Every structure is written in structure tokens, then in C-alpha cells.
């Protein structure tokens, strides 16, 4: 990454946030996180790619799985995803190994992407008649041998078989919530699906993280919505909000994340901070768990 100007600038932004040499704790096992909300346009894709890039800039190895036929995450990461490119469709429907479709992301070391092509639009129907239709992504991820710290899965705005595959493959659900009217509308349906998948297919699944996006601190509405969400999900909501930022929305049209597009912008810094919180909270929870297990053994 150091050999490109934007890579250097992004690295400098990360270093500006840390004392020299202070890295973030890496998870003991790969954390597989599904970024889901069946509401459209709430910032799922934006959050997936910018958090992934932030975690990678913090030193982690991160894979983005684009599970949305729109392929927006692939576009934002500058990954070629025209119809002939080997993609997540081949993995889900044709049982191609994940390693054969993963591509490195230019400019961000340690960041990789399994792209989505337009073929994926048909997968929702094609999957119905396949064996183990809900767990095909999970199987592909289990068989993937490259070491990774995080896998972030970007979902389409629906609760069909693609999203179910993501829920079965993950241990954590990350829900981006847009600070607008009706922010919580429809969330009950997502939470019920999470419970269903947890009960029947994936006992480890839980909502670990909620991120408030497109936060406009100048409006009362935004802070009201934020208070309401924090009231409902006391422990899960990150302290960091993502501000509404033109730089964040411009970056994808250059095939970049905001971390390389404008590393010093408020949007880039907020995603870096959110990534830091995600890494630190997990490490703290892990330490507390070890502590209580040790006490229990005494
Ligand atoms: P879909 O449901 O269609 O997949 P999504 O939930 O993935 O949508 P995004 O595509 O990430 O949502 O974001 C929707 C739109 O809002 C995009 O145009 C994006 O650039 C813009 N956007 C996302 N986050 C921000 C932000 N913090 N500031 C400004 N614009 C944003
Ligand atoms: Mg999206």
C-alpha cells in the first residue's frame, strides 16, 4: 500500500489517530459479521466497505463478501465485476471454492473482496432447489484456508435466501441504522429472522453491533432517533456515529472507500473510530470472559 499516494495518505490518517506502534488487538478467531437491514439505502454497503478498509488499515486481514446482486460493494472497492468475472454466484450455486473468486483490493493492504455480478440476481430462485440451500455460504467460508481476522458480508435489502445464507455463515449481526424517521420500522422483522436462524440453523448468531449512520448533528431528529435506538439497544450501539458526509457518498464513483478517497475527512475518521471500537469491545469482552472463567475455576 505504501507505494501509492492514496495508500500512503490513508496510512498517515491512521497513524495520526494512534500513538506510533500502537496497533489494535486482533481477534483470536475470524469474526464473521453480516451487515444487514432489510430497509434499503440505510448505509449497509457504505458501512461494509468503509469498516472493512478501516480494519485493514488498522492492520487486520479482512474479506468483504458482496452478497448483493447490485454489486455496490464490489464497485466501491474498485473490483471488476462484469458478467464473466468469477463471483460469489459461482460459490453459492456452482460450489466453486471461495479462494477462486477472491480478489485483492488495490491501495489497501490486507483487504480482499469476493465480488457479486449480475448473475447473483438469479441465485435467490436457483438456490431454492439446491441441497443445503441455507448453508452454502457457510460451507464455502469454512473451507477457505487463508488466514483472516474479519469477514464482512454485505446483504441486499431483503430477507430472502441470500440474506439467510449470510445469517447462517456469521456469528455477529451488524445493523446500520439511518438516523431518520421510521428508523426502527421493520427492524422487528430482521430481529425475528435472526432469532429463527439462531434457533434452527446457527446457535452462535447474535446482534453484536449497531451503528448509527448518516447522522446530522444539526437536527433534533437525528439526536432523537439516536436516543431511541440507544434506549432499545443499550449495549450494542457503538459510541461513534457516522456523520452525513458528501465525501462518503462521492468515494464509490471513484472505485474507492472514503479511507483512500479522503483520508482526513470526518467520514473517514469516523469509520476508523468505529472500527477501533469494534476491535476493542471484542477484546475487552474476551478478557472479561477469560477472567470470569479463571475465577470460576478457582
Ligand atoms: P441498499 O439497501 O440499496 O443496498 P444500502 O443500505 O447498502 O442500500 P448505501 O448504498 O450504503 O445503503 O447508502 C445509500 C446511499 O446513501 C448511497 O448513495 C450512499 O453513498 C449514501 N450514504 C451512505 N452513508 C452516507 C453518509 N454517511 N453520508 C452521506 N451519504 C451516505
Ligand atoms: Mg447496499
> What integer pLDDT is reported at residue 17 of this predicted model?
61
> What integer pLDDT is reported at residue 21 of this predicted model?
42
The dotted CATH code for 28-297 is: 3.40.50.300
> What integer pLDDT is reported at residue 20 of this predicted model?
38
Which residue's alpha carbon is nearest to atom 30 within ligand 1? 249
Ligand nearest the Cα of residue 37 is 1
The grid cell for 219 is 437536527
Which residue's alpha carbon is nearest to atom 24 within ligand 1? 43
Ligand 1 site, residue 209, Cβ cutoff 6 A: no
Mean pLDDT estimate for the chain: 92
Can you list the residues of the chain whose pLDDT is less than 50?
A: 19-21
Give the list of residues 6+ apart from residue 63 with CB closer than 8 angstroms, or none. Answer: 52, 102, 112, 113, 114, 148, 150, 151, 152
> What integer pLDDT is reported at residue 4 of this predicted model?
77
> What integer pLDDT is reported at residue 181 of this predicted model?
80
> What integer pLDDT is reported at residue 141 of this predicted model?
98
State which ligand 1 atom lies nearest to the alpha carbon of 156: 4
Pocket test for ligand 1, best of 36, 38, 45, 77 (most atoms within 8 A of CB): 45
Question: pTM (2 decimals)?
Answer: 0.93
Which residue's alpha carbon is nearest to atom 18 within ligand 1? 249
CA of 263 to the centre of ligand 1 (A): 19
Classify each residue of 138-169 as buried b or exposed e, where b means 16 or more C-beta atoms within 10 Å of its C-beta: bbbbeebeeebbbbbbbbbbebebbbbbbbbb
CA of 248 to the centre of ligand 2 (A): 14
Which residue's alpha carbon is nearest to atom 14 within ligand 1? 41
Ligand 1 site, residue 86, Cβ cutoff 6 A: no
- Rounded to an integer, what distance in angstroms lies between the CA atom of residue 134 and that of residue 295? 39
pLDDT, one tens digit per residue, over 160-191 is 999 999 999 999 999 999 988 888 887 899 99
- Rounded to an integer, what distance in angstroms lies between the CA atom of residue 137 and that of residue 167? 9
Distance separating the N- and C-terminal Cα atoms of the chain: 48
> What integer pLDDT is reported at residue 19 of this predicted model?
44
State which ligand 1 atom lies nearest to the alpha carbon of 155: 4
Amino acid at each position: 500500500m505504501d507505494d501509492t499516494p492514496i495508500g500512503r495518505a490513508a496510512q498517515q490518517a491512521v497513524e495520526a489517530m494512534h500513538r506510533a506502534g500502537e496497533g489494535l488487538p486482533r481477534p483470536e478467531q475470524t469474526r464473521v459479521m453480516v451487515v444487514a437491514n432489510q430497509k434499503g439505502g440505510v448505509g449497509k454497503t457504505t458501512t461494509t466497505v468503509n469498516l472493512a478498509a478501516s480494519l485493514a488499515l488498522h492492520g487486520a486481514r479482512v474479506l468483504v463478501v458482496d452478497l448483493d446482486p447490485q454489486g455496490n460493494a464490489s464497485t466501491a472497492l474498485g473490483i471488476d465485476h462484469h458478467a464473466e468475472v468469477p463471483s460469489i454466484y459461482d460459490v453459492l450455486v456452482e460450489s466453486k471454492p471461495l479462494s477462486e473468486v477472491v480478489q485483492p483490493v488495490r491501495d489497501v493492504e490486507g483487504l480482499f473482496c469476493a465480488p457479486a455480478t449480475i448473475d447473483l440476481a438469479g441465485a435467490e430462485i436457483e438456490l431454492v432447489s439446491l441441497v443445503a440451500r441455507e448453508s452454502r455460504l457457510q460451507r464455502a467460508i469454512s473451507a477457505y484456508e487463508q488466514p483472516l481476522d474479519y469477514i464482512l458480508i454485505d446483504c441486499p435489502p431483503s430477507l430472502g435466501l441470500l440474506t439467510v445464507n449470510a445469517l447462517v455463515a456469521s456469528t455477529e449481526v451488524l445493523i446500520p441504522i439511518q438516523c431518520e424517521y421510521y428508523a426502527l420500522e421493520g427492524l422487528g422483522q430482521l430481529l425475528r429472522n435472526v432469532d429463527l436462524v439462531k434457533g434452527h440453523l446457527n446457535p452462535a448468531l447474535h446482534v453484536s453491533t449497531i451503528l448509527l449512520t448518516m447522522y446530522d448533528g444539526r437536527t433534533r431528529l437525528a439526536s432523537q432517533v439516536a436516543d431511541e435506538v440507544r434506549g432499545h439497544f443499550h449495549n450494542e450501539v457503538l459510541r461513534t456515529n457516522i456523520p452525513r458526509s458528501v465525501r462518503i457518498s462521492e468515494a464509490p464513483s471513484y472505485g474507492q472507500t472514503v479511507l483512500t478517497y479522503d483520508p482526513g475527512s470526518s467520514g473517514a475518521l469516523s469509520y476508523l473510530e468505529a472500527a477501533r471500537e469494534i476491535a476493542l469491545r471484542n477484546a475487552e469482552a474476551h478478557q472479561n470472559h477469560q477472567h470470569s472463567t479463571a475465577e470460576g475455576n478457582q
